[in-house]
Amino acid sequence: MDREREDRLRDVRNTALLSGFLGLALGYVVFYGIYPTLSVPAGPEASIGYALLLLAAAATLAGMASGRLALSIVQDLLGVLLGGVVATVMLMSPALTGVVLVGAVDIPFYMVHYGFPFLLLGFLMNLVFGTVGLGFREYVLLRYRYDLPPSWATNRK
């Protein structure tokens, strides 16, 4: 029973961490999509290739780390929500310097209005590349373990 509870707690913790990671990537991409000239790296317009690459890499890594399809889907959804939160916080950053140009209540709407295509893109990329990451974990990464010298297994808990 304790083992089961421990596993559940680990799942919750992993899902929260990976959702946060996906949210960080998506939030950055949403901000980059809205303000490509003010982002780092800056450019005259948002590079779709860069945004796709970043989202794909993050989703693949999260899928690889997750290891379970059901949890992977949950973290994809949570990642989109947290992505909105991260982008909103980034858009509120001028307040830290005492500059308030737009009311705090309006910023989430502003973010959704201009960042919606990127939020949608992030959700789709999370689903597709999260699954790719899961597949990579199952069919490539974990097989590597079987190729290790047998003596290695004795060192594992």
Partner 1 sequence: MTETPSGPRRRLPPEHVPWYLVAGATVVLLALVVASAGQYASVTQAHANAYFVPTYSFTFQGTDSRGVLLDNGSVRLGLSLAVTNPSPRVLDFQSIIVKAWIGNASPSGGFYLVFLPTFDVNTLPSQPAPVSAWGTGTLGLNFTLSRVSNPTRFETLRAIQAAVANATGTASGIPWNLYVLITLRVEGIPDPIASAGPYELNLNRVILDWGQNLGS
List interacting residues with partner 1 (CB under 8 A).
17-18, 21, 24-25, 27-28, 31-32, 35-40, 42-45, 57-58, 61-62, 64-65, 67, 86, 89-91, 93-94, 96-97, 99, 101, 114, 133, 137, 141-142, 144-145, 148-149, 151-152, 154-156
Nearer to partner 1, 120 or 141 (CB): 141
Nearer to partner 1, 31 or 118 (CB): 31
**Cα separation of 42 and 68, whole Å?**
36
Beta-carbon count within 10 A of 129 CB: 23
Contact 80, 130 (CB under 8 A): no
Nearer to partner 1, 1 or 119 (CB): 119
Tell me how far, at minimum, the Cβ of 31 lies from partner 1, in Å: 6
Residue 41 exposed, middle or buried by CB count within 10 Å (0-12, 13-18, 19+): exposed
Nearer to partner 1, 1 or 65 (CB): 65
**Cα separation of 30 and 111, whole Å?**
8
Tell me how far, at minimum, the Cβ of 143 lies from partner 1, in Å: 8
DSSP run (H or E) holding 39: none
Tell me how far, at minimum, the Cβ of 5 lies from partner 1, in Å: 21
Tell me how far, at minimum, the Cβ of 96 lies from partner 1, in Å: 6
Residue 7 exposed, middle or buried by CB count within 10 Å (0-12, 13-18, 19+): exposed
Return the biggest CA–CA distance within the chain.
Answer: 63
Nearer to partner 1, 1 or 98 (CB): 98
Tell me how far, at minimum, the Cβ of 8 lies from partner 1, in Å: 18
